[in-house]
């Protein structure tokens, strides 16, 4: 099945780029490395999630809704 995505609505999505990406990049590299060796990276993934929540200045209610939607999908 082929789906089409129109770019116009996507242009309104906020994309934040932190001044210093290195903490996020390093954490992602560590997660990838652990997963590549079949090790648990869940605590690092939670840490990464918190960094992203802070970057987007999400409220507790927004975080709860997001996490609930991820669990149910």
Report, as an integer, the average pLDDT of 35-59: 95
- What is the separation of C-alpha 57 from the centre of its chain, rounded to a whole number of angstroms? 13
Return the pLDDT at 13.
87
pLDDT exceeds 80 at position 72: no
Query: Where residue 21 falls among pLDDT bands split at 50, 70, 90?
Result: confident
pLDDT at residue 8 greater than cutoff 80: yes
pLDDT at 15: 87
CA distance 68 to 73: 9
**Residue 62 — very low, low, confident or very high, per pLDDT cuts 50/70/90?**
very high
């Amino acid at each position: 099945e082929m789906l089409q995505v129109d770019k116009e609505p996507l242009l309104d999505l906020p994309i934040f780029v932190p001044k210093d990406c290195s903490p996020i990049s390093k954490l992602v590299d560590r997660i990838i490395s652990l997963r590549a060796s079949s090790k648990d990276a869940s605590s690092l993934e939670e840490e990464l999630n918190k960094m992203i929540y802070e970057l987007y200045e999400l409220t507790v209610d927004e975080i709860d809704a997001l996490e609930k939607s991820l669990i149910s999908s």
